[in-house]
Structure 1
């Protein structure tokens, strides 16, 4: 029996933006912008492309805690530097991905990289919050820095473009990042007329962010820059065709069917665990990080 097409549920415009600190102007597609099923992805903040003027003092977000999930930051334009209370630091340049497993707790700050701050220019990023299954929520924090040059890639036929496999797999090419639950995170960089085909289990929650360009989905519906395509939980096959040179962030994952308790930067299973997180934070158990 031939696999059925995974139909589009909705093509969503970017919600009104808000500032996170003074360095990130983001559209929250979910959970606030739209009430859509996207577990294991809990939150999607999309910093659509904007120009920042040159200045001496870096823009960004000051010290803040995380517990119970992972943050995944994907850079398209501009550069972000980061530090945390475990002594990790680094710079995320265009094409790079930083996968931070906050898990049992970490303090973190992120801001525009020094040279980018001084020159200014185009800035475009995505930050995802990926939920952790209950059994891993209190595991040791860790980082996976996935440089663009090291990223697993699959070249499409007929000079159609390239699929960058951040996590999961595409046509047998395994992703560069390890995950705690089954998911796929891909950048489809397609040349005009290029086609990519995806096959995700029907129970997987699936969505596309159109980072750049415009595309046709399943030979029918058109989605443009800054829109989010949400798919139904039925069928498995998706055809993506670029109507112009395009970049599409592809998310698809097996939902984590566990209760969720969220308060600010804490994502746990029960309200008691949230209270514990607040208490641990107030007692300095997340370590120390200078502003």
Structure 2
């Protein structure tokens, strides 16, 4: 997993261990992500399947896209589709993805880049591998996270944030055994580059075999950890966690991740996405690409989409 890495972790700022009186977050549940297909048929794992929406708030869903090695002609994306009422966060770990929307936004993201799209009031959107990648084939791996918007921001103007790999805040654990990439939010006083409507943090942690980290976490936020690859444990209770599983944590000041001493050659590290945010605690009416507060608002979104109020697909 290339994302962004550092040859010598000892040069990075270190995250101090828990302070006196800091409470560990207990592990409330562990679930396994089922496999499925999205868009034109690219494989995904539904990271939050089986997790109660009350434990996810302010998040809606997250897909692990791939990891898959495409042969020439196999790479797939999504057709044009609408969004309203939330944000999509696409973090590309391996490969290349092109984005375009009906408001003229978009771009290309590759290893370690993130595209943060606030759909807000509504737009049409397409995601696809570039034509050269379709022709040549190659590795494809990333995540897409849906972040809810509070009622007051549901109809905000659409916008993009392109967060390049080199902008991500890099930290390490107290013993320099883990690389912590802060994409959004703050860890131990170190801020990531992503600007969010809903207070939240998004972090990608890579732990060397046998390494452990006590990751400080905002007490007002919920906390979830999804394993992209490798094996290890979560919580001070040492609950086993492996690729494709999600841990939900209870309240506390920090959460614990530890990598098994032996890892498979295909996943030489324990790679985990850790995320959490301040719960919005508002009603959710969710239907397909629309995440609103009431059923009537969802029906209004469908009507606006059908009447072309989300914009039009650009020529060519």
TM-score calculated relative to the size of structure 2? 0.85
**Helix, strand or coil for the counterpart of 1:124?**
strand
State how far apart, in whole Å, the 1-side matches of 2:229 and 2:288 are.
30
Q: Does structure 2 conserve the Cα–Cα contact (< 8 Å) formed by 1:97 and 1:146? A: yes
State how far apart, in whole Å, the 2-side matches of 1:27 and 1:199 are.
27
Match of 1:90 in 2: 107
Q: Does structure 2 conserve the Cα–Cα contact (< 8 Å) formed by 1:81 and 1:90? A: yes
State which of 109, 115, 120 in structure 1 corresponds to 2:126: 109
Match of 2:39 in 1: 21
Deviations 1:107-149 (A, max 9, x none): 0000112332222232222111100011011111000111111
Which structure has greater strand proportion? Answer: 1
Deviates more, 1:200-209 or 1:36-45: 200-209
Q: Does structure 1 conserve the Cα–Cα contact (< 8 Å) formed by 2:86 and 2:149? A: yes
CA pair 76-277 structure 1, distance change in 2 beyond 3 A? same
Q: Does structure 2 conserve the Cα–Cα contact (< 8 Å) formed by 1:23 and 1:111? A: no
1:260 counterpart = 2:284: yes
In structure 1, stretches of 5+ residues that fail to align are none
Match of 1:283 in 2: 307
Aligned length: 287
Structural mapping, 1:230-245, within 5 Å: 230-232=248-250, 234-243=251-260, 244=263, 245=269
Match of 2:25 in 1: 6
Structural mapping, 1:17-96, within 5 Å: 17-30=35-48, 32-36=49-53, 37-55=55-73, 59-96=76-113
State how far apart, in whole Å, the 1-side matches of 2:182 and 2:93 are.
15
Deviations 1:170-216 (A, max 9, x none): 12110111111211100112222333222334552211111121222
1:155 deviation in Å? 3.0
1:164 counterpart = 2:181: yes
TM-score calculated relative to the size of structure 1? 0.92
State how far apart, in whole Å, the 2-side matches of 1:184 and 1:151 are.
12
